[in-house]
Structure 1
Amino acid sequence: MVEGARPRPMAGREQPTRAEALRQPRLHVATHPLIAVQLTLLRATETAPSRFRELLGELTTLVGYEALAGLALAERPIVTPLEPMIGVKVAQPIAIVPIMRAGLAMVEPLLRLLPEARVWHLGLYRDEETLRPVPYYNRAMRSGQAAHCIVVDPMLATGGSAVSAVDLVKEVGAERITYIGIVAAPYGVAQLTEAHPDVEIYVAALDRELNEQGYICPGLGDAGDRVFHTGE
């Protein structure tokens, strides 16, 4: 490789089309018009980091509502100001598993929906030459602590980090796993569904493809850099 040239690990790799990815029965792409509006603002290059974080949080909440529509519930007796009644509560212990760095920005919005959830931080970074995930942090996962795990990362690009995260979550005995993202590429969807066909995938958008460097197009750039204002 020429010195200073960017790696091109996706060059020559066959990628599924968007139409092919949409045939996956466990892929759920949001259709709400407000999600489309917020996502347009999130993608725009002129969006400042502070606003980017706000939009990412809002989109996480909106997609999260859809992803949690099938949440298991149990009865909970309560007393209203007028009379006793039987309400409901979340039936299973839940863990939110953010893939660091960018996944950290999705934790607080989900904790507002699931205040009793555990948070298991998982550090994975992508080797830019091979696109393989490299683990660097995982200290919180414990067997039997969560029946339902929600893996979160804004970008489902090559799928490597998502597959590794689900591998680790399954090792601690999660009975149900949901992936929540913002933007996905058909390639990443294919990789995740092939490795873990039981995982439900919820995203705000399914984009066209990955470029030769493995970035989603049209995408929104490097989500971690934009969240933490560390890019160029």
Structure 2
Amino acid sequence: MSNAVNYKEITQKGLWSNNAALVQLLGLCPLLAVSSTVVNALGLGLATLIVLIISNVVVSLIRHQVSDAVRLPAFVMIIASAVTCTELLMKAFTYELYLILGIFIPLIVTNCAVLGRADAFASKNKLLPSAVDGFMMGMGFMLVLVCVGAVRELLGTGHLFADMQLLFGESARSWHLNVFGSDFPNVIFALLPPGAFIVVGFLIAAKNTIDAQLKKRADARKAQVTKGSKRVRTTGSVA
């Protein structure tokens, strides 16, 4: 592998082209189950982000000391330890939110996105690139969680950023926005798991549409450059 690390590519893959939720479709269980509000989605997203960074860093540090025979069990133990530390932090500082998220915090251990990055990237790269990869993959997953949570909370309650004090303290209680007012006909379906499926489906469709448009523009620019090059060669030949 080349020693040169393309951090722009790592960022682009983590946030967009290889997004764990929208492209790899990993971690769908917590994505659909706890994303009924922004605070729940943000809490789980931050927990997953922390676990990804810790596991990638530790796996990168021990990558030359662990044999192939015990590689995956060792990675799972590292991830489980990182999840336990994150769980203890949430119990200490955001206990009420921890109770709401419940079993989905320990279940981060089974999130294939975390183990996948440890095996596919961190076990083959140095410390800093592995930490950046974990951060960007976690950010990509968290952003999707927050987007889904925002849409579901908005449609289901007409409000946004409710109960943010569970994560950021009492000062965040004032962040609560009543966007549509008391007359808004709440779409309760949006708060149920089928509603989450539909929202995620629309996000995937939107991403695919944007990718198709970007590819179309890139192809058009490439064709224009090729046409210009042929014209220059033809003019030179005539001269």
Report the TM-score, using the length of structure 2 for normalisation: 0.29
By percentage of residues, which structure has more strand? 1
Report the TM-score, using the length of structure 1 for normalisation: 0.30
By percentage of residues, which structure has more helix? 2
